[in-house]
Amino acid sequence: MEAQTGTHVAILPSPGMGHLIPLVAFSKRLVATHSFSITFINLITDSSAAQSSVLSTLNDVGLSSLQSVDLPPADLSDLPISAKIETRISLTVRRSLSSLRTLLCDLTSKFPNTVMVADIFGTDAFDVADELSLPKYLFFPANATALCLMSQLPALDAQVSGEFRDLPELRLPGCSSPFPGKDLLAPLQDRKDAAYSWLLHQAKRYRQADGIFVNTFEGLESQALQFLKENRASFPEVFPVGPLTLELPENDSECLRWLDEQPPGSVLFVSFGSGGTLSCGQYQNLAHGLEKSGQRFLWVIRTPEVTEGPAAFFTVESKGDPKAYLPQGFLERTKGVGMVVPSWAPQTRVLAHAATGGFLTHCGWNSTLESFQNGIPLIAWPLYAEQKMNAILLVDEIKVAIRPKMQEDGIIKVEEIDRVVRGLMEGEEGKALRAKMRDLRDAASTAVAEGGSSYHSVVNATQIWRSTV
Ligand code: UDP
């Protein structure tokens, strides 16, 4: 076998759509604009049609330097059913290290100039990179604000006694808004849970990376990026390379045809990401609130759960029929005004459609970036992960979202849903948010265009690769 002389990048995404999508987009950008070869290493625990469709975009015509390899599934059968996503993903990576080592040994004999890029929960793979003397980078699919928190987590863990959730507020260098402790990353809410220890472990290892790519852009989170830059003595160089988003293949979608028939800017898109679920009561309230508002809506429904959260994270598909949990007569009463789509919709195409005028979102960072790219203002309804921090950023700092008020019991009432939906779609507040979003749309497209700040960040990192591997 003849060794290849160009730079080769071995990319190791964590399972879950929110991790796969931006890393596939990053891989495609590296191949398209910097003519590297890429191996995309999949650690998928439970494949779904949606995940396969993301991976299928790696085979696009013209991207022959991209190959995708599956590692054998890691066995997590010993984990209790209550084990959180962060624990599951981190253990999947750790238990895949031996097969990763074998694969990387093969790859480096073919591609001696290999760089490894792992993501947010994949830092244990740095050990394999070190054994093989490969440069090791991290890809952070969330924003610079969350990366600021991760950079300070080891110190905060030592300084704060007791639970973060009991702190009325925490001021983080790099972030002008204070965060109530209960709105910090979900796995930080319970120190006794294994997910907390895993997150702390990952945060400590971030420092060992040769550099960190973050899916944001200059001008969006200037203060957080500035803090990270100034912190170079104790934290790796940070490269803002976003927004990195992906248009998924979707040839025949009923909801897009339905949107074609709606007036411009009239439809509220409602979706809680690839895995977010509501409780039964909240699901019913949302249905009643949408109906009461009289606004047009396209709602991606997923079977409600006893508790809210990331129930469907690995698979995206609903358990059972989510329509069965809607209020009686809802579908008939909202016919013509609303449409529900079980489990999954072609989100980037929906947000780019002329009929879409607002987005009620769980504030996942990919969804947020996709709304920036299309200039769509938001209703912020965070559920888990870093989404509550994102909601604060969107409402208080960037000012592109309205957030409905939650009652003490954690439920958002029908009247409040009606208020925010009408406020966004037909109120003055909605107009102001829409105008701000249009500016952001332009800034996002300038950042990634040739000569833009995110374009330059990728060039800078790749120049370092070329000179070091
Ligand atoms: N997505 C989609 N259709 C859906 C739900 C989600 O295409 O019905 C895509 C969405 O466009 C985004 C990703 O899945 O790119 C979700 O990532 P995000 O960070 O917003 O949230 P997560 O799913 O990780 O909570």
Q: What is the pLDDT of residue 318?
A: 62
Separation between Cα atoms, residue 155 and residue 158, nearest integer Å? 5
User: In 320-427, which residue ranges form alpha helices assigned H by DSSP?
Assistant: 330-333, 347-352, 365-374, 387-392, 414-426
Q: What is the pLDDT of residue 4?
A: 73
Q: Which residue is it, tokens 């890029």?
A: 117
Q: For residues 337-356, b (16+ Cβ closer than 10 Å) or e, as one string?
A: bbbbbebbbbbbbbbebebb
Separation between Cα atoms, residue 148 and residue 214, nearest integer Å? 11
387 lines ligand 1 (CB under 6 A): no
pLDDT average per 10 residues of sequence, the chain (469 residues): 80 89 91 85 71 75 74 92 92 96 96 95 97 97 96 96 95 90 95 97 97 96 94 94 88 89 98 93 97 98 77 59 93 96 94 98 98 98 95 96 95 98 96 96 96 94 87
- Give 360's strand partners: 270, 379
* Tokens representing residue 69 in the block: 């390899």
273 lines ligand 1 (CB under 6 A): yes
CA 19 – ligand 1 centroid, Å: 10
Separation between Cα atoms, residue 400 and residue 403, nearest integer Å? 10
CA 174 – ligand 1 centroid, Å: 27
* CB-count exposure of residue 264 (10 Å: 0-12, 13-18, 19+): exposed
Q: What is the pLDDT of residue 61?
A: 46
Q: Which atom of ligand 1 is nearest to the CA of 274?
A: 23
345 lines ligand 1 (CB under 6 A): yes
348 lines ligand 1 (CB under 6 A): yes
Q: Is 120 helix (H, G, I), strand (E, B) or coil?
A: coil
Q: Nearest 5°: CA angle at 25, between 30 and 311?
A: 145
Residues noted as catalytic: 19, 119
CA 160 – ligand 1 centroid, Å: 33
Nearest residue (CA) to ligand 1, atom 21: 364
* CB-count exposure of residue 98 (10 Å: 0-12, 13-18, 19+): exposed
Q: What is the pLDDT of residue 311?
A: 54
Backbone angles phi, psi at 455, to 5 degrees: -60, -45
Strands 238-240 and 211-214: parallel
CA 128 – ligand 1 centroid, Å: 30
* Tokens representing residue 1 in the block: 């076998």
275 lines ligand 1 (CB under 6 A): yes
Rg (CA), the chain: 22
Mutate to test the pocket of ligand 1, among 274, 313, 370 (most ligand atoms within 8 A of CB): 274
Q: Which atom of ligand 1 is nearest to the CA of 351?
A: 11
Q: How many other CB atoms are found less than 10 A from the CB of residue 256? A: 16
Which amino acid type is present at position 182? K
Separation between Cα atoms, residue 212 and residue 225, nearest integer Å? 12
Separation between Cα atoms, residue 171 and residue 176, nearest integer Å? 8
347 lines ligand 1 (CB under 6 A): yes
152 lines ligand 1 (CB under 6 A): no
CA 366 – ligand 1 centroid, Å: 6
CA 103 – ligand 1 centroid, Å: 29
